[in-house]
Amino acid sequence: MPDRWRPTTCIGHRARRIAVALIGALIAGGVWALPSVGAESSRGIAIRPDLLIGQIGSVTRSDTPVGNAPTRLTASLLPGDGAVVGVGQPIVLTLSRPIDESGRSAIEQQLQVRLNGAPALGDWGWMTSQQVWFRPYRYWPGNAEIEVTATLAGVAAGEYRDRPLTGGLDQDRQWTFRTGPAVISYVDGATYEMTVTIDGEVVRVIPVSLGKPGFETRDGVKVIAEKHERKRMTSEGQNLPEAEQYDVEVSHAARLTWTGEFVHAAPWATHRIGRAHGSHGCVNVTAADALWFYDNAAAPGDVVVFSNSGPKMELWNGYGGPWNLTAAQWRARSSLATGAQPAPAVPDRVVVRAAGP
């Protein structure tokens, strides 16, 4: 809480009791609420953007305003200011309160994205009632600067619990981040290969083994969300037959989906890598290729495109989800889209898994 409310030893005993009582009243009355714990992040990109709801700044407004005061709305952005990301990273604006249909257009109208100084071509789309994402029409160019401006101070954004919902007075904000090289990898389940390109040039072809029948790796565009030098993967809670259960630690793992698809080293599978599919959905590669991929092609936001592998990638299942829609389908998720059909809902909460080796 603010320093000015802290009682100090230089005041008298009665004054200290009054100050302590005042602090308690302020918290109980809803003026200040202590902040919640922040979500894990990697290079400025959070693993789960929806986990960041209500974690803005050093304190957050409570759910219950004092008197008839409006509920104040705050926002956070991913990528964070100063981040360097891959060319597939969408912009994720997370709001501290749910926004109903009546308030969403007011929010969107106050958001601006510029690419290398010019207006970026793309659309905002609502993924949940508290998250609106921006996806450009095409991947960001490599080595570019992206600037996001949100002028939400005082903006009327509908209602929350029968009270007006208004942008906080300090919510005119700006963030700037950059893209690194344009790293795009292509995985073909028919050839058991992953072709890695950097700025349009093929730099490495990596043999792979994907998901076996019943555990097929998803087809479509995925985007790296995080990476780990070591990662434990377990089948706990998945109700798998005993023969399919596992609990293993893998090295150089790069997450592709919330449901647990990774690119990672699989030294136990060298006999099938490049020849057959046998994983529980992950991309198995040799230890040497996993280390190379981890160092050169697995920054948050780097793109991995799958074909001939399995069912279609879901919209909600990672940062790559929006890239699996056409531009028109994505635009339908904007509250400003003219004549658009209502966009299908996506889950408000997703269980993040480490699916399997």
Lowest mean per-residue pLDDT among 9-13, 177-181, 223-227, 331-335: 9-13
160 shares its domain with 231: no
For 290-308, how does the pLDDT look when each residue is reduced to its tens digit (9 = 90+)? 999 999 999 999 999 999 9
Domain-embedded: residue 344: no
Q: Calculate the average pLDDT of the chain.
A: 83
Q: What is the DSSP string of 229-284?
A: EEEEEE-TTS---GGG--EEEEEEEEE--TT--EEEE-GGGTTTTTT---BSSSEE
Q: Is 113 helix (H, G, I), strand (E, B) or coil?
A: strand
Domain-embedded: residue 57: yes
Percent of the chain whose predicted confidence (pLDDT) is above 90:
72
- The answer to whether residue 106 scores a pLDDT higher than 90 is yes
104 shares its domain with 203: no
Q: Which of 130, 150, 179 is the last residue of a domain?
A: 179
* Predicted TM-score (pTM) of this structure: 0.79
pLDDT at residue number 352: 64
175 shares its domain with 187: no
88 shares its domain with 190: no
Domain-embedded: residue 95: yes
For 261-285, how does the pLDDT look when each residue is reduced to its tens digit (9 = 90+)? 999 999 999 999 999 999 999 999 9
CA distance 230 to 226: 12
Q: What value does the mean pLDDT take over residues 307-323?
A: 98
Instruction: Give the pair of three-digit tokens for residue 184.
Output: 């795009």
CA distance 73 to 50: 16
CATH number at residue 316: 2.40.440.10
Q: Which of 140, 159, 179 is the last residue of a domain?
A: 179
For 162-183, how does the pLDDT look when each residue is reduced to its tens digit (9 = 90+)? 999 999 999 999 999 999 999 9
Structurally, the chain folds into a number of domains equal to 2
160 shares its domain with 190: no
CATH number at residue 143: 2.60.40.3710
C-alpha angle 219-221-223 in degrees, rounded to nearest 5: 125
For 238-253, how does the pLDDT look when each residue is reduced to its tens digit (9 = 90+)? 888 989 999 999 999 9
Can you give the residue range of the structural domain that contains 113? Answer: 40-179
Let me know: does 73 contact 96? Beta carbons within 8 Å: yes
pLDDT at residue number 111: 98
